[in-house]
A and B are shown apart, each in its own frame.
Chain A
Amino acid sequence: MNVFKKLFAVAGVALAGLAFAPAAVAQEAPDALIKRISQEVLDTAKNDKEIQAGNQKRVLDLVEAKILPHVDFQRMTALAAGRFWREATPEQQKQLVNEFRTLLVYTYSGAISQVKDQKLEFKPMRGEPTDTEVEVRSQVLQPRGGDPIQLNYRLEKLPSGWKIYDVNVLGAWLVETYKGNFAAEISKGGIDGLIKTLSDKNKRLAASAAKTAKSS
């Protein structure tokens, strides 16, 4: 009897250990994640001579490597499209996500290219540890003084890690700001019209990015 009790006890502890083991390799906390990737991107942008010289391709590569894996573009696009998302076919949805992602990558890279000497400051995160949707708040301090630039992120928790699905710059949320643009384009030419507008814009941005790469 005692032997069995001991056996069960040992088995119980072993099982408990197994249960806790995955938790031990827990996901990075959302604010730690944002801090890490922001700092990496900022440091690389400041120290890379080609980026400082204006080579936009380098910035694009940097953004794709460091930032893209941590963003949920599908949800971001769906939120910006609002009620029109459900009316889109899966093929249109896929195209929309691709074009919007490309646009955001160009825009974000444009912002990174302007980094000279900024510093990041993070505010304490609010919320419970068990939250699956959080907001990480930070500020960009300019070397020239003046108002700090507010920069917040909304993240969701997925099995593969925390993912960003909305960004706030200077008080304006990206999704909210693009909603109006999307709705206007859709009312003009339908979802295909929106996809075309985005795609044309991306082609223009690609052309001007190519110019900076060639000239550097």
Chain B
Amino acid sequence: MGPALRIMMLAAALALTGCATTHPQDPFEKFNRAMFRFNDTVDQAAVKPAAEVYRRTLPGFVQTGVGNFFGNLEDGWTAVNNLLQGKVADGMSDVMRFTFNSTFGLGGVLDIASEAGLQKHKEDFGQTLGKWGVRSGPYVVLPVFGSSTLRDTVAFPVDIEADPWRYVRPVHTRNPGSILRVVDQRAVLLDASNLIEEAALDRYEFVRDAYLQRRQSKVYDGDPPTSAYEFDVGPTEASGDSTAAEAASSGAATSTEPAQGPVVKVEQNGGGAANTGVADKESRQ
């Protein structure tokens, strides 16, 4: 490629990044990215290591107990939100959950309501507002608390006020409890966050797009109105000229027969596995 062409392409690329399209739901992207990085730093420095230690050292049933205890406290507010959204059956179910677990569940440490078939819900005031028709608004990344939307950020103080743990005295019981709650929740998310690390090309965008979809789905309780795909090419024809496709690459996308070679070659003879893996993939291209 001649130098002139290269310069032109570079200029085009720069121009494109200059007028990079902002995500329609992320006008605060610069701020959000900065906050995302800040949260990451806090996470890597303090919260994640604490969660890893927590997961490694505390016995499983203790971790479950902690999770259940704080989960139970949330059930009360979830019940209120369900009722506010007009979901009476779910609301009453959550009231029963809270009652059962608080009494027979030894203050919430045991989650017997789930075993009795009362499914756990999670509703917050942001979802209630969403159900009432308030749109989520732009994506906002809060310091420490992470992903949110404008609507949910506004609703957040209401959630905080409604949290029973907030009213626990004395302070030197409440604060360690709050920290324990955060560490426990982070521990639960350790595997998921490692997975996102692997899956994402750009973590900020990945988290943002996944979060916005998830939030929308939660407002609709798992049943959001389906949207059509843009530029849908339709199903890939598993046609007679699949032979061409098979010859072209091992394990063609449309072939239903087993791939001619593994798609990912991790290790051949046990030695130099990483290099072999890379070499194999390159030779296949």
Q: Which residues of A contact B (CB under 8 A)?
A: 56-57, 60-61, 64-65, 68-69, 72-75, 78-79, 82-83, 85-86, 94-95, 97-98, 101-103, 105-107, 110-111, 114, 132, 135, 137, 144-148, 150, 156-161, 163, 165, 170-173, 175-185, 187-190, 197-199, 201-203, 205-207, 209-211, 213-214
Interchain CA distance A181-B196 in the complex, whole Å: 13
Q: Which of A65, A145, A185 has the most CB of B within 10 A?
A: A145
Instruction: Find out whether the CB atom of B229 lies under 8 angstroms from the CB atom of A180.
Output: no
CB-contact partner of B17 in A85, A187, A203, under 8 A: A187
Instruction: Report how many residues on chain B are interfacial, defined by Cβ distance under 8 Å.
Output: 74
Given known pairs A75-B235, A86-B231, A206-B274, the reply for A105 and B259 (CB within 8 Å) is no
CB distance from B60 to the nearest CB of A (A): 8
Are B209 and A171 touching (Cβ within 8 A)? Answer: no
Q: Are B13 and A188 in contact (CB under 8 A)?
A: yes
A172 touches B235 (CB 8 A): no
Instruction: Evaluate whether A147 and B122 lie within 8 angstroms (CB atoms) in the complex, with A68-B251, A163-B235 already known.
Output: yes
Can you list 18 A-B pairs, Cβ within 8 angstroms, ordered by A?
Answer: A56-B266, A64-B264, A68-B251, A73-B253, A82-B231, A94-B248, A101-B253, A110-B198, A135-B226, A144-B63, A158-B235, A158-B238, A160-B254, A172-B209, A176-B209, A180-B23, A207-B274, A213-B267
Which residue numbers of B lie inside 8 Å of A, CB to CB? Answer: 13, 16-17, 20-21, 23, 63-64, 67-68, 71, 111, 114, 119-122, 188, 191, 194-195, 198-202, 205-206, 208-211, 213-218, 222, 224, 226, 229-238, 248-249, 251, 253-259, 262-267, 270, 273-274, 277-278, 281, 285
Judged by DSSP, the binding face of A is: helix
**Which B-chain residue is minimally distant from A132 (CB atoms)?**
B235
List residues of chain B with CB within 8 A of the CB of A157. Answer: 235
**Residues of B contacting A: mostly:** loop
Flag if A101 contacts B263 (CB, 8 Å): yes
B-side contacts of A137, CB under 8 Å = 222
Asked whether B262 lies within 8 Å of A60 as measured between CB atoms, the reply is yes
